[in-house]
Amino acid sequence: MLRSHSAKVQNAPERRSGQEAPVNEWDDIRHFLAVARGGSTLAAARALKVSQTTTARRVAALEARLGAALFERRQAGYALTEAGAALLPQAEAVAAAAGAFDLAAGALARDAGGTVRLSAGTLFAITILPPLLRDLHDAHPGVRIELDTSDELRDLAAGEADVALRTVEQPTGAGLVGRVVAPGDWAVYCSHGYAEAHGRPHRRAELRGHAFIGGGEPKIWRIYQAWLAENGLEDAVTMHLGSSAGLLSAVRAGAGLAALPCLVADREPELIRCLPPSPHVPSGALWLLTHERVRHAPRVRTVLDFLGPRLAGLARV
């Protein structure tokens, strides 16, 4: 369920005391039409799947607001009065307009097309997202994804992105809404080739003497560097790469060990987890976020509803 991080409360407009409800309320007109078509409140109630009392009450309420009788109550049923017959074409027009509105709204919901700007870190963009975005396209070909892999946080309130995948302790910013889709656990990994050549450490005490690869985008490196410092391993870094793609490639190639997000590394067939996740690195959680301004736009809703459960599913595997 989407959680809101805005304190804004929107109240429904209040009706002032003594202010009359509008005469052309669609629900009353709907009951008027059903009685006119069925010839009785019983037939109308059956057609509308409500009680006969409800139908009679709605018709009476409409007549009271109009100040005119719309039906003659006869033993054989309800017959239109002159006033009722005069209003019948307008009521039919309202029903046709309501039906057209429902059709258009349904088509809009089904055709949730358009461009959605998705912001995600490079490491997620090159690993877990491509197969998910492929499946999204297959299911919703009208949705076009613009994937922004900048390490900078995009301002969702300013429209710099529609949806963001972020690893944070808690999202900040007015109007942000989102859900946690995965924990932000990190662990130490190496390749099968590295383990065969140099052994696989299983405990923190066994990490010393192994080569570590450092790097990644600034945000990735800050978390990773904090873990290295916590374990006194900053001097063990023998290679530093400026991108998370390079970091991951170097670990795959057997150049050394690295701490990586479990959601990514556990899905890499070339990699082996050496140690369990560290509880001491404040890596937060993976959030799927949008802004309340666009959260109900069909194209954005489609992306959120598609990616959210699938990302959460990856974390459970």
**Residue ranges per structural domain of the chain:** 26-110, 114-183+284-316, 186-273
β-strand partners of 4: 177
290, burial (CB in 10 Å: exposed 0-12, middle 13-18, buried 19+): buried
Q: Please tell me the total number of residues recorded for the chain in this structure.
A: 317
What pLDDT is attached to residue 151?
74
C-alpha to C-alpha distance for 21 and 219, rounded to whole angstroms: 56
Share of the chain above pLDDT 90, in %: 61
Q: How far apart are the first and last CA of the chain?
A: 21
What pLDDT is attached to residue 168?
83
Residue 64: C-alpha distances to residues 53, 95, 139, 239 (Å): 16, 21, 51, 84
Does domain 114-183+284-316 match CATH 3.30.479.10? Answer: no
Where the chain has pLDDT below 50, the residues are: 1-24
C-alpha to C-alpha distance for 28 and 41, rounded to whole angstroms: 13
What pLDDT is attached to residue 132?
96
Place of tokens 């991080």: 5
Whether 122 and 243 have beta carbons less than 8 Å apart is answered as: yes
DSSP code of residue 257: B
Question: Fold identical between 114-183+284-316 and 186-273?
Answer: yes
Of the candidate CATH numbers 1.10.10.10, 1.10.287.610, 4.10.520.10, 1.20.1440.130, the domain formed by 26-110 belongs to 1.10.10.10
Residue 157: C-alpha distances to residues 6, 97, 143, 275 (Å): 11, 35, 21, 39
CATH dotted code for 186-273: 3.40.190.10
Model pTM? 0.63
